[in-house]
């Protein structure tokens, strides 16, 4: 995406890469080379859509969090990246809890040991692929591999690094105590920067591959959630975003590193220097609807047309889906249950139900799961002044209304729907000096587009259904805990 300094989007493009491979149960891997190939294609397409002598003055990056990219001393990829939704590392989480203890982990990193975090992938490779591990000289997160290919520089940002379980989130630096406790070498980790800070430049080789100008500065950027929050203007306390992509995230900015002593939500550095954020995650949010489309969608439409048809069927069904509940645990769950082993369930089916009932139940179940995070925010007394929604869940009018009814709050969309890419561009603009701060940039260019109010007749129904939803997980846990 190329963004003008008034916030307008000059051009944007996407390029496909392969879906994740799953060589084992609940495993997920991708080839970093494929990210780089897609990135070069998308960059060239964007530059080809511009007119005149426009050029990029600064570059920001964003990408999926938590993935472990393992490189040798020459920067060559050693194995496919184990990405964010992979669930293979339960044993490594238990080892961390036994070795350091959950309380000490919270003290050092403000987070608990979850199968999603990067450190657990490193421990898994060290244990199960020792020959590969002996060759590791650099560890990067997904977007940082793209930066390395653009510049030759090994760097990351504090927001993305917060999801590794190796960062001292309070002091915004690598945790020497954590690194020593797990027996890693600090020199395999990249240098860490604040998100708007310039940290690299486009190399000659990358300029030839992408069409960018050699020497163009690259800022640190941020993981998809923090960058997406910047793109939606979620920079100050009281501002909350709900993004439904493959996963679903409820995100709130804070002035201090707010800690949940029960470890149910994540406390990370924000992409805004001197700020933090808390977030809860539903592993399979948009993934639930995609799974529904792929397995039971019918018809021949693809892409957005298929989702529009599903949403049209859901719109014919009343709030509450006539008794059906969907527990969206296709890939285990993070918030609030931190349970990689639980699996999804469709509860309450009867003979009179149609596919539209099931589709709406899937949408409602995702919203119920995300409401769990709102409940934790209330428990921690975190303010909620306004809620902005993004991702695929914001493009559907039905899903926006469901979210407003479930959260019992108005929800807003923003004019620029591109989320993380737009946020990365804002960070680049701040790094290049177009705006004095991230707050100034967001105040100036992030604009609300539409507002959806909750429907009074649906709120009571959704509250009752949510109470029922909360009773589904304990029943599933009893099934899967062995």
Report whether 117 contacts 164 (CB < 8 A). yes
* pLDDT score, position 154: 98
On whether residue 425 sits in a domain, the answer given is: no
336 and 366 both lie in a single domain: yes
168 and 316 both lie in a single domain: no
* pLDDT score, position 338: 86
Is a pLDDT exceeding 70 seen at residue 271? yes
On whether residue 4 sits in a domain, the answer given is: no
* pLDDT score, position 180: 96
What domain range is 52 assigned to?
15-221
The strand pair at 248-254 and 238-244 is best described as: antiparallel
On whether residue 466 sits in a domain, the answer given is: yes
Task: Name the domain boundary from 200, 221, 242.
Answer: 221
214 and 237 both lie in a single domain: no
203 and 241 both lie in a single domain: no
> How many residues are listed for the chain in this entry?
482
* 3-class secondary structure, 74: coil
141 and 266 both lie in a single domain: no
On whether residue 435 sits in a domain, the answer given is: no
Q: How many domains does the structure of the chain reveal? A: 2
With tokens 């620029």, the residue in question is 416
458 and 340 both lie in a single domain: yes
Return the structure tokens found at 268.
């990370």
On whether residue 10 sits in a domain, the answer given is: no
* 3-class secondary structure, 440: helix
365 and 253 both lie in a single domain: yes
- Kindly report the number of other CB atoms within 10 A of residue 417's CB atom: 15
Q: Cα torsion at 326, 459, 314, 392 (round to 10°)?
A: -80
* pLDDT score, position 24: 87
191 and 323 both lie in a single domain: no
20 and 84 both lie in a single domain: yes
Report whether 230 contacts 125 (CB < 8 A). no
Task: Name the domain boundary from 194, 221, 248.
Answer: 221
Report residue 303's pLDDT band, with 50, 70 and 90 as the boundaries. low
Distance CA 402, CA 455 (A): 9
Report residue 448's pLDDT band, with 50, 70 and 90 as the boundaries. confident
* Bridge partners, residue 238, by sequence: 384
Is a pLDDT exceeding 80 seen at residue 282? yes
DSSP letter string over 302-365?
A: -HHHHHHHHHHHHTTS-TTGGG-EEE--BTBB-TTT-BSS---EEE---TT--HHHHHHHHHHH
Per residue in 112-164, pLDDT (tens digit) is 998 989 999 999 999 999 999 999 999 999 999 999 999 999 999 999 999 99
Percent of the chain with pLDDT over 90: 82
Identify whether 408 is a catalytic site residue: no
* pLDDT score, position 147: 98
- Nearest to 330, CA basis, from 321, 317, 320, 339: 339
Per residue in 45-65, pLDDT (tens digit) is 999 998 777 789 999 999 999
* pLDDT score, position 391: 85
Is a pLDDT exceeding 70 seen at residue 298? no
* pLDDT score, position 299: 53
**CA pseudo-torsion sign 155, 157, 158, 159:** negative
* pLDDT score, position 8: 92
217 and 238 both lie in a single domain: no
Report residue 300's pLDDT band, with 50, 70 and 90 as the boundaries. low
Return the structure tokens found at 243.
């993004």
Active-site position among 144, 160, 224, 260: 224
Per residue in 73-96, pLDDT (tens digit) is 999 999 999 999 898 999 999 999
* 3-class secondary structure, 103: helix
169 and 289 both lie in a single domain: no
Is a pLDDT exceeding 90 seen at residue 39? yes
**Section 391-397 average pLDDT:** 87
196 and 253 both lie in a single domain: no
Is a pLDDT exceeding 60 seen at residue 15? yes
On whether residue 1 sits in a domain, the answer given is: no
On whether residue 423 sits in a domain, the answer given is: no
On whether residue 227 sits in a domain, the answer given is: no
Report residue 347's pLDDT band, with 50, 70 and 90 as the boundaries. very high
Report residue 402's pLDDT band, with 50, 70 and 90 as the boundaries. very high
CATH number at residue 97: 3.30.420.40
Task: Name the domain boundary from 196, 221, 246.
Answer: 221
* pLDDT score, position 260: 86
């Amino acid at each position: 995406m190329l963004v003008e300094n008034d916030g307008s989007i000059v051009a944007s493009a996407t390029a496909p890469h392969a879906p994740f491979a799953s060589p084992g149960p609940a495993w997920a891997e991708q080839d970093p080379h494929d990210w780089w190939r897609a990135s070069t294609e998308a960059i060239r397409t964007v530059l080809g859509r511009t007119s005149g002598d426009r050029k990029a003055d600064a570059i920001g990056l964003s990408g999926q969090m938590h993935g472990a990219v393992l490189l040798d001393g020459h920067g060559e990829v050693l194995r496919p990246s184990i990405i964010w939704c992979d669930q293979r590392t339960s044993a490594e989480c238990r080892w961390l809890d036994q070795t350091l203890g959950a309380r000490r982990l919270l003290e050092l990193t403000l987070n608990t040991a979850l199968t999603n975090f990067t450190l657990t992938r490193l421990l898994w490779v060290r244990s199960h692929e020792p020959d590969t591990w002996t060759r590791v000289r650099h560890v990067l997160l997904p977007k940082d591999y793209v930066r390395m290919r653009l510049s030759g520089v090994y760097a990351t940002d504090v927001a993305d690094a917060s999801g590794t379980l190796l960062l001292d989130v309070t002091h915004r630096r690598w945790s020497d105590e954590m690194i020593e406790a797990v027996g890693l070498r600090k020199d395999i980790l990249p240098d860490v920067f604040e998100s708007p800070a310039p940290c690299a430049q486009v190399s000659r080789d990358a300029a030839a591959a992408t069409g960018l100008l050699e020497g163009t500065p690259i800022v640190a950027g941020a993981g998809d959630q923090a960058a997406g929050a910047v793109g939606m203007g979620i920079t100050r306390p009281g501002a909350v975003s709900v993004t439904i992509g493959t996963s679903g995230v409820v995100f709130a900015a804070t002035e201090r590193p707010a800690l949940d002593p029960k470890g149910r939500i994540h406390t990370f550095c924000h992409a805004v220097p001197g700020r933090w954020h808390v977030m809860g995650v539903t592993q399979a949010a948009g993934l639930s609807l995609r799974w529904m489309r792929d397995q039971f969608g019918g018809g021949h439409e693809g892409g957005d047309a298929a989702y529009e048809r599903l949403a049209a069927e859901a719109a014919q069904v009343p709030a509450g889906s006539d008794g059906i509940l969907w527990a969206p645990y296709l890939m285990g769950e993070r918030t609030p249950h931190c349970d990689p082993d639980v699996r999804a369930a469709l509860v309450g089916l009867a003979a009179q139900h149609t596919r539209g009932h099931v589709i709406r139940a899937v949408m409602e179940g995702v919203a119920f799961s995300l409401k769990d995070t709102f409940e934790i925010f209330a428990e921690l007394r975190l303010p909620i002044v306004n809620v902005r929604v993004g991702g695929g869940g914001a493009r559907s009018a039905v899903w926006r209304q469901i979210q407003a009814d479930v959260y019992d709050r108005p929800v807003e969309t923003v004019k620029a729907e591109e989320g993380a890419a737009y946020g990365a561009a804002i960070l680049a603009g701040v790094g290049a000096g177009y705006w004095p701060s991230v707050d100034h940039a967001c105040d100036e260019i992030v604009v609300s587009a539409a507002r959806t109010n909750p429907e009074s007749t649906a709120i009571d129904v959704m509250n009752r259904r949510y109470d029922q939803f909360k009773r589904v997980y304990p029943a599933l846990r009893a099934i899967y805990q062995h």
